[in-house]
């Protein structure tokens, strides 16, 4: 009996030894990432006595953090006003492991956040205290964070903080099994030269599959009050879109004219040039663009709400006036309506876009103070490749395109407000278009590139 217990004791002892020896291996979990210790440090604050972060800063100092609340009638620093000031902070952030970094801000009024010169958060407009967040993936090491802020009036708030969540722990790469080939999509018929490949929908949102497809030799339709635009398409509550490749004979100014009831918009080579996307009776919109000789892609979208339905598009060589002959000049087209429709009442070259017409001044001969619009086109020579701030201050609507891309959009009724963005521009010539309208009362527009 003693021998049996001895054998059992030995067996239990061996089992416990094996368990304690190999248990850590059996229960081992992947090593945890080190805690992220990144923080905004060494913030250099440049304080300006304007809301556009321009000129020479009144004060430059080191701020331990961006965590400020300046009450009403309180200046952010000596020599600064209590309203209409701005600050640019440049900070460094040390990321100890590859992480998703989330930046949290509270601002009153506007704020932008850029990381390594990439804009990740844009809230650069007048507002009460408002919280935003933006997340970006940063690799291990030191990164530069730039915060741009302005306060228009009343109290000012500028708070920026950040947290991190680790990404996946590196491990062996598992080969990805081959993906079965995707069945080819039935080809869309090539867009015809001069003709218009039309797709017609039985809704106003161009959604779903088109009810009818055809090539229209021209876009010049007046369906009146009852005519259906295509088989299976109702007279009311429908939409259509057309694509065409237009071969232009020479490099010149071309006038694109769109007349519609109701909404219409036109793109050239992917750039929106006419935007009349709203319910309205017959209205004519025009755009003048300098286009090179050769093929250009045109895209038109249209919808009809009810009653009269019509759409007409024409492309003619020649503009209302030639484009700017001098680099940097803004060719201004002044309209006596707020929709840039019809022919401009006045055309002139403006050296800068910096106007404050107040409550009564007329912007140009034959143009009223209220309910007018202006479009400026310019070729601007950018001296060096770097990030540039494009800023537009207006009362009422304003929007800015750079090389055909919409970069600032404040196109609605509002009091004086500043909109801005940061874009990387290479050295050389870039095309700019600014559109502005004033509904009534105060009228002003200022556009800056710096």
262 domain residue, yes or no: yes
SS3 at position 65: coil
Q: Domains in the chain: how many in total?
A: 3
Task: Give dist(CA 447, CA 399) in Å, integer.
Answer: 10
SS3 at position 11: helix
Task: Give dist(CA 284, CA 156) in Å, integer.
Answer: 45
Residues 241 and 193 in one domain: yes
The per-residue pLDDT for 200 is: 96
83 domain residue, yes or no: yes
159 domain residue, yes or no: yes
The per-residue pLDDT for 179 is: 34
Intervals of the chain under pLDDT 70: 1-39, 164-194, 319-327
The range of the structural domain enclosing residue 237 comes to: 185-319
Task: Give dist(CA 333, CA 285) in Å, integer.
Answer: 13
The per-residue pLDDT for 8 is: 55
Task: Give dist(CA 303, CA 280) in Å, integer.
Answer: 11
Nearest CA among 338, 319, 297, 298 for reference residue 435: 338
Residues 285 and 302 in one domain: yes
Q: Are strands 252-261 and 212-216 parallel, antiparallel or unpaired?
A: unpaired
Residues 303 and 351 in one domain: no
The reply to whether the predicted model has a pTM over 0.75 is: no
The per-residue pLDDT for 343 is: 80
The per-residue pLDDT for 239 is: 95
Residue 310 belongs to a domain with what CATH number?
2.60.120.260
Last residue of a domain, one of 301, 319, 337: 319
30 domain residue, yes or no: no
Total Cβ atoms within 10 A of residue 38: 21
Residues 428 and 352 in one domain: yes
């Amino acid at each position: 009996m003693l021998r049996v217990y001895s054998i059992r004791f030995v067996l239990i002892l061996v089992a416990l030894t094996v368990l304690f020896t190999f248990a850590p291996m059996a229960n081992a979990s992947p090593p945890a990432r080190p805690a992220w210790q990144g923080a905004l440090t060494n913030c250099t604050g440049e304080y300006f006595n304007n809301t556009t972060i321009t000129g020479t800063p009144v004060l430059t100092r080191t701020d331990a953090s961006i965590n400020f609340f300046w009450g009403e009638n309180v200046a952010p620093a000596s020599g600064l006003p209590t309203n209409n000031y701005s600050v640019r902070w440049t900070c460094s952030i040390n990321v100890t492991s590859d992480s998703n970094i989330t930046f949290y801000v509270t601002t009153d009024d506007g704020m932008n956040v850029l990381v390594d010169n990439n804009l990740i958060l844009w809230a650069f407009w007048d507002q009460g205290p408002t919280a935003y967040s933006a997340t970006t993936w940063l690799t291990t090491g030191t990164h530069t964070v730039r915060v741009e802020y302005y306060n228009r009036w009343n109290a000012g708030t500028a708070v920026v903080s950040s947290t991190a969540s680790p990404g996946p722990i590196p491990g062996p790469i598992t080969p990805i099994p081959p993906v079965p080939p995707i069945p080819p999509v039935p080809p869309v018929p090539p867009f015809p030269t001069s003709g218009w490949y039309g797709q017609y929908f039985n809704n106003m949102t161009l959604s779903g599959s088109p009810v009818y497809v055809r090539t229209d030799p021209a876009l010049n339709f007046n369906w009146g009050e009852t005519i259906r635009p295509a088989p299976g398409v109702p007279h009311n509550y429908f939409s259509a879109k057309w694509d065409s490749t237009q071969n232009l004979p020479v490099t010149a100014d071309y006038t694109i004219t769109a007349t519609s009831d109701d909404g219409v918009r036109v793109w050239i080579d992917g750039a929106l040039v006419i935007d009349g996307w709203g319910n309205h009776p017959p209205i004519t919109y025009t755009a003048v663009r300098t286009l090179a000789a050769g093929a250009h892609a045109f895209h038109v979208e249209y919808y009809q709400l009810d009653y009269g339905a019509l759409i007409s598009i024409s492309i003619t060589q020649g503009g209302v006036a030639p484009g700017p002959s001098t680099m940097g000049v803004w060719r201004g087209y002044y309209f006596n309506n707020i929709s840039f429709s019809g022919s401009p009442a006045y055309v002139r070259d403006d050296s800068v876009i910096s106007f404050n017409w107040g409550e009564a001044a007329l912007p140009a001969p034959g143009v009223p103070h209220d309910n007018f619009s202006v479009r400026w086109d310019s070729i601007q020579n950018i001296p060096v490749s770097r990030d540039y701030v494009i800023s537009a201050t207006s009362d009422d609507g304003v929007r800015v395109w750079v090389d055909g891309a919409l970069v600032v959009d404040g196109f609605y009724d509002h009091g004086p407000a500043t909109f801005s963005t940061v874009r990387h521009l290479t050295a050389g010539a870039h095309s700019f278009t600014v559109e502005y309208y004033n509904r009534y009362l105060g009228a002003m527009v200022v556009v800056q590139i710096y």
